[in-house]
Amino acid sequence: MSLRVGLPQGLLYFQYGTVIERFLSELGAEVVLSSETSRSTLDCGSALDEMCLASKIFFGHACSLRDKVDYLFLPRLVSIRPGQYTCPQIIGMPDVLKHNGGKLPPIIDVHVDMRQKPRQLYQAVIAVGQLLGRGVAASLYAWFRAWQCRECLRSGKKVLAGRPRLAVIGHPYIIYDRQVSLDVLGKLDRLGLTVVTPEMVDAGEINRGAAKLGKKLFWSNSYDIAGAAMALMEAGCPVQGIIFITCFACGPDALVGELIRQQAWRRNIPYMQLSLDEHTAEAGMVTRLEAFADMLKRRPKA
C-alpha cells in the first residue's frame, strides 16, 4: 500500500507544487492535496500571532490534512540559490507546525540550503526517496523526471487591442490564491485589462531588472518580484500601470513595495498598493480596482 503524503496548497506550493507532486508520485507515494483556501482555512490559521496572512493560511492547510495522510511534506527551504534566503517565516514553518499544530502526522522537513552547496538539493532528494523506500538512483531519476515536466507559467498573455497592459506584482501564493487575493486577476480581466504577473517574465530579464534596483535583495521571492517589476517597466513596450499586492505584516514587502513605487514614479507609471489581511472587504477592493482601471483607460498615452 502506498504511503499517503500530504501537500498543503500554500506558500511555495504555487511555485513548486507541480514539481513536488510529480516527484512524490514518481517515488510511489499517493499525494493528497489540501482543498483550496476557504474561510475555515483562514480561521484555523488566525489563531497564530505575529504571522503574515499567507503563513496563517498555510498553517490552516496543513492542519486540514491532519487525519488524511501518513506524512506532511514540508521541506525546510533556507535558500534556493546562492547568496539569497527564503522568507524567515517559510524557513520556520516546520517548527511552527510542530509546536502549534497539535497531533499532526510526521513532517518531512529535509533541509535545503543552496547558498554555498547547490548539491544539498540532491542530498534532500535522496533523503526523501529513502524515507519512501527508494534508492539513490531511483530518487534522483524521480527528481529529474519531475523537474523536466514542470509547469511553465512564463507564457505571457496576448495583448488585446484597446486593453491597457497592467502588471500585478506580488508573491504567487497571494496572487494565485483566489481566496487570499479575492480573485484579483479575474476582476481585472473583467474590467478590460491585460494582466502580466512576475511568473510571465523570463528569468534573464528578472536578473537584469533586479540589477537596476540600486539595492541588493537577499530574499529570493522579493528579488524575483522586484526584478520582474523593473523588467516590465523597462521593456520596449512598458506596462501602463502597476498594482503591488502584499499581505499585512510582510516585512520584506514593506521594503520591496517602496522600491517599486519609487521606480514607477520616476517613469510616470501609475502605481497602487493593495494590502490584504483577514478582514479585507471585497467591496472596498473592487472600488479601488475599478477606479484604477478607469484611470488607466482615460489616461493619455505617452
d(CA 207, CA 290): 32
> Domains in the chain and their CATH numbers?
4-148 (3.40.50), 165-298 (3.40.50.11900)
Record the pTM: 0.87
**What is the predicted pLDDT for the residue at 156?**
47
Which run of H or E residues covers position 196? strand 194-196
**What is the predicted pLDDT for the residue at 161?**
53
Q: Sort 155 into a burial class: Cβ within 10 Å, 0-12 / 13-18 / 19+.
A: exposed
Q: Three-state SS for 268?
A: coil
Under DSSP, the state recorded for 48 is -
**Each residue's pLDDT expressed in tens, for the chain with a length of 302 residues:** 688 999 999 998 988 889 999 999 999 999 999 999 988 888 888 878 778 888 999 999 999 998 899 999 999 888 888 888 988 888 889 998 888 878 889 999 888 888 867 788 888 999 999 999 899 999 999 999 898 876 544 444 454 556 888 999 999 999 999 888 989 999 999 999 999 999 899 889 999 999 988 788 888 999 999 999 999 998 778 899 999 999 887 888 888 999 999 999 999 999 999 998 877 778 888 999 999 999 988 887 65
**What is the predicted pLDDT for the residue at 302?**
59
